Amino acid sequence: MQTSVADHPLVAHKLTALRDRGTDTPTFRRLAYELTTLLGYEATRNVRVEPVQVVTPVAPALGVRLARPVPLLVPILRAGIGMLDGLASLLPRADIGFAGLVRNEETLIASTYATRLPADLTGRDTFILDPMLATGGSMETVITMMLDRNAATVTAICLVAAPEGLARLAAGFRDGSVPVQVVTGAVDAGLNDKGYIVPGLGDAGDRLFGSI
Ligand code: PRP
Ligand code: URA
C-alpha cells in the first residue's frame, strides 16, 4: 500500500482552519470541499485515460479522456458526504456508490448499516472518501468491499490520518495485486484513549452535520 501526504501550503492553511474549534459548520463544509479538490488532484494522478482526437479552431489535436468504465466514488456515511462534491467536481462523470458505517465509541469497532454499490467493479478505479482515518477499521472494511468486487485500483482520500490507521491498512493490504493507496492531508500524532485523532479536528460527522 502506498501513502501520499499532501505537501502543499494551501492544504496546510485550510486544514489548520478546519481543525480550529471556532470554525462554524458552513465554513467547515466549505473547507472540506476545497481540501478534497486539492487532495483529489493528487489522488487522481494515475486515473485511467484513453487517447482521443479533437479538432480545435486551428488544427486537429491529440488528447485524452477518462477511460470507461468510469470511476466510482464512495463516500463513507456520514462524514464522507462532506467530501463528495469536492471530488465529483473533478470527476463529474464518475458513478457514486455509498457505504454507511458507524463506529461503536466504546469498542471502536465499525459496523456496516448500509451499502449501495455495484456488484462488479472490474476495470474500475475506485475512490473512497472519509475525512478521518483513525483506527482504520472503517476504511479497511470499505477497501475490502472494493477488492471483493474486483476493483482495478482503490484510492482512499482522508483529510487527517492517524499512524495507527495507516499501519493497519499497510499490514492488511501489503501484497495485493490491486494497487491500494491512501492520500491524506496530514498524518497526526496518534489516537487518544477514546480513539480520537490527536490533535485531529474532533468528530468530523458532528462538525459537518451536527450531533445526533
Ligand atoms: C468516523 C469517521 C470515520 C470513522 C473513523 O465516523 O468519519 O468513518 O469514524 O474511525 P476508524 O478509523 O476508527 O474506523 P463515525 O463512525 O463517527 O460515523 P459518522 O461519520 O456517521 O459520524
Ligand atoms: N472519527 C472522528 O470523527 N474523529 C476522530 O478523531 C476519530 C474518528
Q: Which residues contact 207 (CB under 8 A, 6 or more apart)?
A: 23, 25, 28, 201
For ligand 2, is residue 33 a contact (CB within 6 Å)? no
**Domain total in the chain:** 1
In short, whether 197's Cβ falls inside 6 Å of ligand 2 is: yes
- Which CATH number goes with the domain that contains 115? 3.40.50.2020
The predicted-structure confidence for 96-133, as pLDDT tens digits, reads as follows: 999 999 999 999 999 999 999 999 999 999 999 999 99
3-state helix vs strand vs coil in the chain, percent to 5 = 30, 30, 35
- Please report which ligand is nearest the Cα atom of 192: 2
Q: Calculate how far, in angstroms, residue 199's C-alpha sits from the geometric centre of ligand 1.
A: 16
| Cβ contacts of 186 within 8 Å, gap of 6 or more | 5, 6, 11, 12, 15, 159, 160, 161
pTM of the model: 0.97
Q: What is the pLDDT of residues 43-88, one digit of tens each?
A: 999 999 999 999 999 999 999 999 999 999 999 999 999 999 999 9
Which structural domain range is residue 125 located in? 2-209
Query: What is the atom index within ligand 2 of the atom nearest the CA of 197?
Result: 6
